[in-house]
Each structure stands twice: as C-alpha cells, then as structure tokens.
C-alpha cells in the first residue's frame, strides 16, 4: 500500500472510533506539541497557518508557502495530518487536484476543501478531479468537504438543514469522505444533519458547543478547534508584550510557560 494510502486509511479509521478531536496547529512546533499531548491526528488551521507565514486568511496564502509548511509539519509528527486548503486556491478543478496531490506528497493524509460562497457544483467538480487524480497516481486522501451554509448564512434559517443535506449528497456522490459544517450550533439541526448526511459530521468549536460528550451523543464524529488555539495564543502574547513594553513591571517569565528544556526535547 502506498504511504499516502496507508495514512489516509488510518485517518478514516479515526472517524469510526467515537469523536475525533482535532486541535488545529499552525506550524511544525505547534503540530509537534499537539501530537506530544496525545492527539490521534493533527489538523492545520488555514487562518493560523496563514498568519504564522505573514498572510491574511481567505485564499491569500501562496501555495508554495503552504507546501513548505506542510512538509515541515509532516517531518516532525507521526500521526495522520490533515491540511486545510481553503477553496483549493483556484476555481479550476484540475489545478485544485494538482495542488492536493502536492499536499499529499508533502505528507498529508487528509484535506479540508470548502465551497465558501461558490456554487456547490464547483466544489463537487473539484472533489471528483481530486479522486480521479489520486486514482491515476495510486494515491489516496481523506476529503473533508466543508460547506458554509451556516457560517455565511447561504440559505434562510428554516432552510439551512435541507440545503446542507442537499450539498452533502452532492459532495458524497463526488467522492467526499466527511462533511464539515462550521457555524452549525443548534442541537436539533446538528442531530438532523448527523443522521441524514451519510458522512461523518465535523463541527467547529463555538461557545455553544463546549460539551464534547454531548456532541458525540448527537452523532458528531469530528470536532475542530479551528483558529481558536491560534487566537488564544496571539491574545496571550499580545497582552504579555504590551505589559513588557509599556508597564513599569513585568510578570514575565510566565509561570505557566512551557520550559526551554521541555520545548527543546520535543524536537530532540
């Protein structure tokens, strides 16, 4: 079995073992730390990774920079890696498929690929092109199809479950392995989508979704931290830098900091 196929198979299996918790990393250091803390898999956050490389989120990241970051992450972890490639950085399905193959060869077992404000048929075409390209090269990848029906309010509130399920069917038929619905927080809607979408359901953490055991009971199979960890880190860092630069005294070194020795040992 090719290495990409083995990694993708391992990653698929994790969606059959309860609730897969993905603490999203944004560089090799955070990915290695997340693995060391016991994660079964590592996911990237497109926002956090873009910020760490000096780009804004939203399909603005240079794809060569993305591939370099993926390679660096894959070098330091052994658990499956799934990479958020946003919309594939192109509207051309063949170009998206070519990029995804490069991401797979860089070490990814899975990807997130989103419809955003675009037509559902376009995302379906991208998924089909990825599947065909993988077959041609003897590769494999777990495709988590993200729909922004809830995140962007792409349908009236009373129609969002139906619209999400319609898109799920389209993406499933095209070859998707999972369904990611960020912004989905209503308990009844989560239960309905999980029961009828025909794919492992992935939701994104929100203040209303902090009971992870309840999410699993609703049928959710994957929960992502998204950019929450990166935002938390930047928030804490901003406050510490402000204090250090502008206050008369400083609380640094932070008593909650991970020590130099422990951090260095992650990469020994």
In order of their start, the domains of the chain are: 3-265 (3.20.20.60)
pLDDT-based confidence at residue 268 (cuts at 50, 70, 90): confident
Mind listing the pLDDT tens digit for each residue in 182-224? 999 999 999 999 999 999 999 999 999 999 999 999 999 999 9
Continuous H helices in 77-223? 93-105, 120-137, 160-174, 187-196, 212-218
pLDDT for position 51:
98
Longest dimension (CA), the chain: 63
Element (H, E) at 120: helix 120-137
Q: Is the pLDDT of residue 1 over 80?
A: no
- The residues, any chain, with a CB within 8 Å of residue 256's CB and separated by 6 or more, are none
User: Considering the chain, what percentage of its residues have pLDDT values greater than 70?
Assistant: 99
Q: Is the pLDDT of residue 71 over 70?
A: yes
Q: Is the pLDDT of residue 260 over 70?
A: yes
pLDDT-based confidence at residue 110 (cuts at 50, 70, 90): very high
Q: Is the pLDDT of residue 4 over 90?
A: no
Q: Is the pLDDT of residue 85 over 80?
A: yes
Number of C-beta neighbours around residue 47 at 10 A: 22
The backbone torsions φ and ψ at residue 166, rounded to the nearest 5 degrees and listed phi first, read: -65, -45
The encoded tokens of residue 98 equal: 């070519």
Structure pTM?
Answer: 0.96
Mind listing the pLDDT tens digit for each residue in 140-186? 999 999 999 999 999 999 999 999 999 999 999 999 999 999 999 99
The encoded tokens of residue 53 equal: 């490389």
Distance CA 81, CA 26 (A): 12
Per the prediction, the chain carries an average pLDDT of: 97
pLDDT for position 267:
95
């Amino acid at each position: 079995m090719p290495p990409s196929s083995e990694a993708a198979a391992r990653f698929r299996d994790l969606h059959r073992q309860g609730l897969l918790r993905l603490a999203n990393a944004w560089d090799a250091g955070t990915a290695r730390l997340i693995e060391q803390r016991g994660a079964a898999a590592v996911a990237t956050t497109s926002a956090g990774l873009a910020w760490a490389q000096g780009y804004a989120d939203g399909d603005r990241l240079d794809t060569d920079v993305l591939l370099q970051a993926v390679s660096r992450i894959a070098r330091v972890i052994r658990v499956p890696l799934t990479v958020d490639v946003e919309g594939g950085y192109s509207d051309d399905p063949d170009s998206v498929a070519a990029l995804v193959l490069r991401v797979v060869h860089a070490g990814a077992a899975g990807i997130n690929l989103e419809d955003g404000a675009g037509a559902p048929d376009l995302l379906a075409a991208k998924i089909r092109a990825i599947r065909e390209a993988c077959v041609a090269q003897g590769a494999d990848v777990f495709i988590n199809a993200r729909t922004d029906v809830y995140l962007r309010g792409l349908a009236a509130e009373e129609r969002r479950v139906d619209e999400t399920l319609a898109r799920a069917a389209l993406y499933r038929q095209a070859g998707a392995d999972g369904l990611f619905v960020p912004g989905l927080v209503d308990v009844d809607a989560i239960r309905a989508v999980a029961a009828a979408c025909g794919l492992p359901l992935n939701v994104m953490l929100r203040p209303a979704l902090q009971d992870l055991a309840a999410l699993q009971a609703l049928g959710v199979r994957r929960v992502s931290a998204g950019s929450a960890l990166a935002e938390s880190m930047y928030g804490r860092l901003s406050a510490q830098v402000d204090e250090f630069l502008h206050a008369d005294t400083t609380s640094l070194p932070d008593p909650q900091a991970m020590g130099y020795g422990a951090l260095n040992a992650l990469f020994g």
